[in-house]
Chains A and B, each alone.
Chain A
């Protein structure tokens, strides 16, 4: 009475079908596109390495690459550090009900268009804006916050912070309380409990949060453009710029593939680290 179990496949197949139909297709199309040529402002299918050669030998491409990498790393680290005490507080110092409220309040900002929020930051950060007025009253400033790396960072954090807090909180609140109490009972200091028990137990969530922060800020166009003033341009801005030379989508695709490869390597390395068994 052998039962061919349908069960595992019901869970496995949907993703393969869906992403196979609607994701792998566009992805391969994009890879193919990077070998196409543009003639008379129209893309012509071809197999040609010109675009790759052209983009990867440009100094400005690599400048933008390192800037983007640096900013995304900084955002991932800062967002994780800033989020952690909040997530910790949410997980351990609030009731389950209060925590649910807080999580929903973290999701709600997504509904208020990111563009609208960035537009509001433009006002808040302006030299003539309220923050500088506040600093002025306290005898500082005015500071130039817009059209700078700082402005872009504020934008990135606006984008990723709620998500990082959500993911961290999920991870922290699932830690077995007995584990923590055991550590206390064994005389561990709060610091030791945190570093030896809580952080390792929540490692997966912490890393996944940081990875999402990295990925989202690496690819974001809005913050570096509207708050960073494109000074200097990031890869996502470079993609837009590249298309402005007469339909050069193939070259933009080269930039995109470089971004995907980078993100993929980072994401996989991080996820690998997250799931690695502790020795």
Chain B
């Protein structure tokens, strides 16, 4: 009986993944299609859109900008998110709900307004139009996601575990290092990847804050709003292939070790 339901669940999972990946695969198909506008029936096979897109140094620069921003913002978001989740898990203190509000508010702010407000604010600090500005904005936006993931993981940790380590003479710091962090490692990795993804996909705040330093989604936004050109499919496909390869590499390298 377990077997049969397992198969059912697997079918359901396939359906869900089909929904999630349908647009990605569609865009992949059209990235090789000769017609400028995506309609069926398809035109003929071409690499033209890849050639056009990747012959432009701006596109490479945008990729570099996006990668730098995503890696840095994910790093900072994960640290912030974990520290906050741990604080919420371990400690009660006065004004804790105000503290949590600070952690939870950012995603509630409409991005267009957030973009303008960030631009005005960072402009006053002399950071508008810089990659640092985008990193700051994305960290603000990503930290709540990291916190949610870390908090869920901590939820399932027995608080007695940490206490046991102290009783055995470990300092708080070494209990953190030897008990809490290892327990949270999967969550930390997921949080890092997810916040990197959120940053990599964000374009509205970036449009305002980035000035002349474009990231990939800002470039896609410009093409989509002004030109509608299959280059966006080509760029999207390359991003997808790159990220999925990284996932495979990460799986093989990180988890091979941990499962041994």
Interface residues of A (CB under 8 A from B): 5, 7-8, 10-12, 14-16, 18-20, 22-27, 29-30, 33, 82-83, 85-86, 88-90, 92-93, 97, 100-121, 123-124, 126, 128-130, 133, 157-158, 161-163, 165-167, 170-171, 174-176, 204-205, 208, 212, 215-216, 219, 221, 235-236, 239-240, 243, 249, 252-253, 255-256, 259-260, 263-264, 267-268, 271
Contacts of B197 in A (CB 8 A): 107-108, 110-111
Given contacts A107-B193, A115-B224, 11 further A-B contacts (CB under 8 A): A7-B172, A15-B84, A26-B117, A89-B9, A108-B240, A115-B203, A118-B23, A133-B40, A212-B145, A260-B105, A268-B101
**Complex Cα gap A275–B105 (Å):** 18
Q: B71 at interface (Cβ–Cβ under 8 A)?
A: no
Q: B193-216: which residues lie under 8 A (CB-CB) from chain A? A: 193-194, 197-198, 200-201, 203-204, 216
Given contacts A23-B105, A221-B204, is CB(A18)–CB(B139) below 8 Å?
yes
CB distance from A183 to the nearest CB of B (A): 15
In the complex, which of the residues B16, B216, B232, B243 has the most CB atoms of chain A within 10 Å of its own CB atom? Answer: B16
**Chain A interface, DSSP helix/strand/loop, else mixed:** helix
Partner of B113, one of A120, A158, A256: A256
- List of A residues within 8 angstroms of B149 by Cβ: 166-167, 170
Residues facing A in B171-222 (CB within 8 A) are 172-173, 186-187, 190, 193-194, 197-198, 200-201, 203-204, 216-217, 220-221
B113 touches A252 (CB 8 A): yes
Q: Is the CB of A85 within 8 A of B12?
A: yes
Q: Mark B123-137, 1 if CB is under 8 A from A, else 0.
A: 000000000000011
Please name all residues of chain B whose beta carbon is closer than 8 Å to the beta carbon of A104 when the two chains form the complex. Answer: 193, 247, 250-251
Once the chains bind, are B217 and A105 in contact (CB under 8 Å)? no
Interface residue B109 (Cβ < 8 Å from any Cβ of A): yes
Asked if A259 contacts B236 (CB within 8 A), the reply is no
Majority secondary structure, B binding face: helix
**How far is it, in angstroms, between the C-alpha of A236 and the C-alpha of B24 when the chains are bound?**
25
Q: Is the CB–CB distance between B111 and A219 below 8 Å? A: yes
B48 within 8 A of A: no
Given known contacts A11-B86, A110-B200, A113-B236, A174 and B108 CB-to-CB distance under 8 angstroms? no
The answer to whether A236 and B23 have CB atoms under 8 Å apart is no
Given A97-B255, A113-B216, A119-B224, CB of A219 within 8 Å of CB of B108: yes
Please judge, given known A-B contacts A89-B10, A116-B220, A161-B20, whether A15 and B27 are in contact too, CB under 8 Å.
no
Residues from chain B with Cβ under 8 Å of A271 in the complex: 100, 104
Contact A174 B155 (CB under 8 A): yes
B102 adjacent to A112 (CB under 8 Å)? no
With a CB–CB cut-off of 8 A, which chain B residues contact A110? 194, 197-198, 200-201
* Residues of the B chain whose Cβ atoms lie less than 8 Å from the Cβ of A85: 9, 12
CB distance from B236 to the nearest CB of A (A): 4
- Choice from A100, A114, A205 contacting B201 with Cβ under 8 Å: A114
Q: From known contacts A107-B193, A221-B111, infer whether A10 and B204 are also in contact, taking CB-CB under 8 Å.
A: no
